[in-house]
Structure 1
């Protein structure tokens, strides 16, 4: 009988050694001992793969999978396929978790008979806490409630890492990360999952530590990645229209903001004056379709509305006055 409580999946690619070791050791030192740690070396060109192998020799609970570089989504999916635990958890290789994180998460999940448990997190920069997301009390949400709170991004966010998932649900319902997009994959994964379960458990806990690094994939400004998140949000916007009107309105807010953010990044980080011209014009056209929703929205502050309205001007005006965006 399988007695592994949780499979901890860690995608590894070009992570500074000090972060990677801290991450792996925080997984090894979990109070919950009947775990497996799946380190997916995504073709990292440095010493990351060797470091993973080093730890595997010390702890039989560690399984290392070496593969060609295909991106974090593929790496996580490989982890899901190979997971043997009752639950699955994801940890990014430059983050770390407190020793009782999975013990508390799984206990809450078992007591409340939920397939997904979500929590808050701690955000760190230079070993100093810069944000601590923990609000409210423990609660069980139905599907619609869970999706609304997800899009609010106040109680919990759409990162896959500060959560646990019943493995049987992911495999039976075939919930995997989309492998052909470079940004927005986390939202796509969580949205699809929440849409296929009846309830989600929230535990008021902040024991996952997200470490902010200047040169990490999350902090790098890449307009092309921004554009892929637009496609994810548009898909979700269309789906939410048939689920719940309030949910649709909230998704429309996020979609409008993401359109404007993508325009901004493409204008600021372009290589020459004609870079991304067609893409920006396409985003502007989409913004104009949603202008009435923007003007009617009482939750948008005037400053935000004015910033978004800037992108409704012709492309040449936006390009020539892009210095205002900085």
Structure 2
């Protein structure tokens, strides 16, 4: 069976690292090397790495100056000797048979890339997150039409986490020089899509064995100009890589939809640069300045909207609601159950559905109607915003 290299980029995660590393070392598949890249941690993460390495000769520890997650992943890749490479993030964990199932799937199919599903763990709850591409063996040409965008805004075709992939190392060695180390957000997407464009065969499996743990504060994104610069750097890197491989026209619109989705969740203010001085939140069709708003949804988009309107005093956030309000309250966020909207009476102008996933939005919409919220007060992304191609 093939030997694999498992790379874990690590920065200041001492509270989670032991569970992560123990789940890797407990794997039923034993033919692996484990490369721990301590990216300049200032807590005890480095010492934890050394402690584990002292008792298992499969572990290599790299201590380096902090350079960000892309720099850490590249450092691990340069040290890797396995035929295939897998990743685990240091605050996540994996089922015991995770790599056994992934390796067996690769050997049966002879695929260059194997892609699985994952669990999303939020507090005591765990949700299965599946790819929106049917399980099966694909050539590069056959996977392209649904690779980036399922056709519904916004659903990935293939989810882009490196941590749910097993990738042939020779492919990674070829593409990693193209990925700028300053790309520290959505570097997974760049690596995965460029990797698939270099692959002859890609296997999409139904197996789910990776646990992505959404810990307190882990989904909060920066909205500063530097974050926007890094996002656009990722966009440019991927656009250039796609054009270089001769499939720009096939992937242009799906890629623009992905870019729009990321800016919406992290930098929604950029869309209001074209608004007049009396209108905000153009993606939602435009709202009057200082409207009284209820925000339904407390994940990434909801948090971005709350910060945006609060920081600039553009509107009054009269209530923030989510069915998983207890989880968000534990994170220190002032989020309440949807039924609390009834306490407002008519003292609000709009309810914004703060999700980019159509199925979730439909559920939110139905919940509000059951609570007798007037249809005309419920807003989601406008049809023109969803459909138009916005070049950056």
Normalising by structure 1, report the TM-score.
Answer: 0.76
Structure 1 residues 77-133: Cα deviation after superposition (integer angstroms, max 9, x where no partner):
011110111111010000011111111111111221111111110110124203432
- Equivalent residue, structure 2, for 1:290: none
CA contact 1:8–1:35 (8 Å) conserved in 2: yes
Cα 1:68/1:119, change in 2 over 3 Å: same
Change (3 A) 1:260 1:103: closer
What corresponds to 2:158 in structure 1? Answer: 156
Q: State the match for 2:286 in structure 1.
A: 310
Q: Distance in 2 between matches of 1:239 and 1:55?
A: 38
More RCO (CA 8 Å, sep 6+): 1
User: In 2, Cα distance between the equivalents of 1:238 and 1:181?
Assistant: 14
Structure-1 residue corresponding to 2:111: 114
Structure 1 residue 175 displacement after superposition: 5.6
C-alpha offsets along residues 34-71 of structure 1, whole Å, 9 cap, x if unaligned?
21111111110011111111111111111111111111
Say which SS state the counterpart of residue 24 (structure 1) adopts.
helix
Partner Cα separation in structure 1 for residue 57 and residue 180 of structure 2? 31
The match for 2:190 is 188
Q: Spell out, residue by residue over 1:158-185, the C-alpha distance to the aligned partner (whole angstroms, 9 max, x if none).
A: 1111001111222245566431123121
SS in 2 for 1:252: helix
The root-mean-square deviation of aligned C-alpha atoms, in Å, is: 3.3
Which runs of 5 or more structure 1 residues have no equivalent in the other structure?
268-279, 288-304, 314-318
Does the residue aligned with 1:248 lie in a helix, a strand or coil?
Answer: helix
Q: Give the TM-score normalised by the residue count of structure 2.
A: 0.64
> Paired residue for 1:85, among 79, 82, 91?
82
- Distance of 1:137 and 1:261 partners within structure 2: 27
Compared with structure 1, are the counterparts of its residues 60 and 258 closer, same or farther at alpha carbon in structure 2 (3 Å cutoff)?
closer
User: 1:134: Cα distance to partner?
Assistant: 5.8
Contact preservation (8 Å) 1:178, 1:188: no
2:277 aligned with 1:248, yes or no?
A: no
What's the CA shift for 1:198?
Answer: 2.2
Tell me the SS of whatever aligns to 1:206: strand
For these two proteins, the number of residue pairs brought into alignment is 287
* Cα gap change, 1:176 to 1:85, in 2 (>3 Å): farther
Specify whether residues 21 and 167 from structure 1 end up closer, same or farther in structure 2 by C-alpha distance, changes over 3 A only.
Answer: same
Question: 2 CA distance for matches of 1:173 and 1:231?
Answer: 16
